[in-house]
Structure 1
């Protein structure tokens, strides 16, 4: 399976409400997640807590999609521009979130992911 195919499968899982299933399937034990703020979450356990914390803030998930997606197969790197519409707890209206995620893969696992978005 190509890295592009892996990224598409991962994004499809996230977009159908299976974020944590995708996380467990595709992320390495020594993964590093980097937020736009520079905050780093090192290791799968710390990264998992970060993802669960985000999900805990969501009241309702409405929709999601992929705007652009690409890969550099030789360098095991993928990039996806994605969006999701959610309602956060305590808010009345849905919010559309957009971000770009750049992933470095090793085999079938994401070793490093950096997010870019305008907070």
Structure 2
């Protein structure tokens, strides 16, 4: 599979409710994930953050990959996504973001998320 196809598979699995399974399959032990709220290093810390996010969610209403592109020669994938979610506090939020993934072999070693904070 190309890097673009692997990234698409991650989001296909997320749409089917297999969020942590996709994470376990595609993220490296030494992964670094960055976003406006901070940076996490290592698979265990990043997975714990994902679990915390999932535990704050009451219901997912939808996830859409709006755009996806890749630089296969350099192992880079760019995605624009939108997610509609209701949190346990009752807030329903439409979240839009861009992410840039750096791949090595079959796993992501670095992912950075860009979105409007707040």
Please report the TM-score for the alignment, with normalisation by the length of structure 1: 0.94
Question: Runs of 5+ in structure 1 lacking a partner?
Answer: none
Q: How does 1:71-90 map to 2 (within 5 A)?
A: 71-90=70-89
User: How far is the alpha carbon of 1:63 from its aligned partner?
Assistant: 0.9
Matched length: 117
Partner of 1:21: 21
Question: Runs of 5+ in structure 2 lacking a partner?
Answer: none
SS in 1 for 2:73: coil
The runs of at least 4 aligned residues of structure 1 exceeding 6 Å deviation read none
User: How far is the alpha carbon of 1:62 from its aligned partner?
Assistant: 1.0
Q: RMSD of the alignment, in Å? A: 1.0
Please report the TM-score for the alignment, with normalisation by the length of structure 2: 0.95
User: How far is the alpha carbon of 1:40 from its aligned partner?
Assistant: 1.1
User: How far is the alpha carbon of 1:12 from its aligned partner?
Assistant: 1.1
Pick aligned residue for 2:99 from 87, 91, 101: 101
User: How far is the alpha carbon of 1:94 from its aligned partner?
Assistant: 2.4
- In structure 1, C-alpha distance between the alignment counterparts of 2:19 and 2:98, rounded to whole Å: 16
Please say if 1:7 is aligned against 2:7. Answer: yes
